[in-house]
């Protein structure tokens, strides 16, 4: 798994990019980011 310093900027960047795309894709990208974050926390 990547380190937190790598994951967080990617998440923020993804959310920022998500603001520029359609709502349906944005919703799924946010869900994916949340899911990935939960998995990351479980692995810690």
Annotated domain spans of the chain: 4-43
pTM of the model: 0.44
At 18 the pLDDT is 64
Q: How confident is the model at residue 9 (pLDDT cuts 50, 70, 90)?
A: confident
At 43 the pLDDT is 86
Q: How confident is the model at residue 2 (pLDDT cuts 50, 70, 90)?
A: low
Q: Is residue 40 within 8 Å of 1, Cβ to Cβ?
A: yes
Query: Residue 23: CB partners within 8 Å, gap ≥ 6?
Result: none
Give the tens place of pLDDT for each residue, 21-43. 666 776 777 788 888 888 888 88
């Amino acid at each position: 798994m990547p380190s937190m310093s790598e994951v967080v900027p990617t998440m923020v960047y993804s959310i920022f990019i998500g603001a520029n795309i359609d709502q349906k894709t944005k919703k799924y990208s946010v869900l994916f980011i949340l899911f990935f974050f939960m998995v990351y926390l479980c692995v810690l």
